Amino acid sequence: MTSKPSEQKTGQLVVPGDRIGVIEEFIPDTGTYVRDGVIYSKVIGRVLVDLTHKRVTVHQLAESAKVPVTGSTIVGQVSNAQNETAGVRIFEVGSEKVEGVFQGILHVSDVQMRYVDSMFDVCKAGDILRAKVISEKNMTYHLSTKDKNLGVVYAFCSNCGSLLEPRRQAMHCPKCGRIERRKLASDYGVGLVERRKGEEENEG
């Protein structure tokens, strides 16, 4: 006499108006609404499907949670860089922290207007960069840095980890003297440092 535990499946992130299913398949529950037999999401959240009871709900993300959308300006850390693409872990949208894990991808053709040969001249793993979301598919955010204020805002020496300083056309490591290349945002090294100072003042 064991009651079978509900079989549940957590699905994708949805925003209000996203189609989730039809009433022939599921019983609509919290966080959903129905129009003409179609179930839509009412909130920003994750779809939760109870396969045992054929019930579908949308588990709302915290109200303060920010989610990147097409057109958002994001800040993230480069998780990996290959010749043609770089992966970016997004942690801010606008200037607010995001809740959850959002993965961005920057393609070498979206770096700047003029031709860029290799992503290795643009950013490296560990760098912090600002970019714009140009499209989103299956929770992968395609990014662009085709603007003066977009690009790397914080770059680290791949030899010793020090903060790199812009010098003429390249980046210079003040500690070990290594020369590297990056696609910089116009306020490289300024924005984050200033904000850090501000945060310290607020705390004290």
Strands (E), 82-150: 85-93, 96-107, 128-137, 140-144
What's the first-to-final CA gap in the chain, in angstroms?
61
Nearer to Zn ion, 98 or 184 (CB): 184
**Shortest CB 167 distance to Zn ion, Å:** 13
Nearer to Zn ion, 143 or 171 (CB): 171
**Shortest CB 180 distance to Zn ion, Å:** 9
Q: Collect all residues with Cβ–Cβ distance below 8 Å to 69 and sequence separation of at least 6.
A: 15, 133, 136
**Shortest CB 45 distance to Zn ion, Å:** 44
**Shortest CB 176 distance to Zn ion, Å:** 3
Q: Collect all residues with Cβ–Cβ distance below 8 Å to 52 and sequence separation of at least 6.
A: 4, 5, 6, 7
Q: Per-residue x/- marks for Zn ion, 139-178, CB under 5 A?
A: ------------------x-xx-x----------x-xx-x
Of 70-129, which residues contact Zn ion (CB under 5 A)? none
**Shortest CB 27 distance to Zn ion, Å:** 60
The answer to whether the CB of 59 falls within 8 A of the CB of 42 is no
Strands (E), 4-84: 8-14, 19-22, 27-28, 32-35, 38-41, 45-50, 55-60, 73-81
Of 36-55, which residues contact Zn ion (CB under 5 A)? none
Half-sphere exposure of 72 (CA within 13 A, CB side): 23
Using CB under 5 A as the binding criterion, the count of chain residues that bind Zn ion stands at 8
Nearer to Zn ion, 105 or 176 (CB): 176
179: contact with Zn ion by CB under 5 A? no
Summarize as ranges the residues that interact with Zn ion (CB under 5 A): 157, 159-160, 162, 173, 175-176, 178
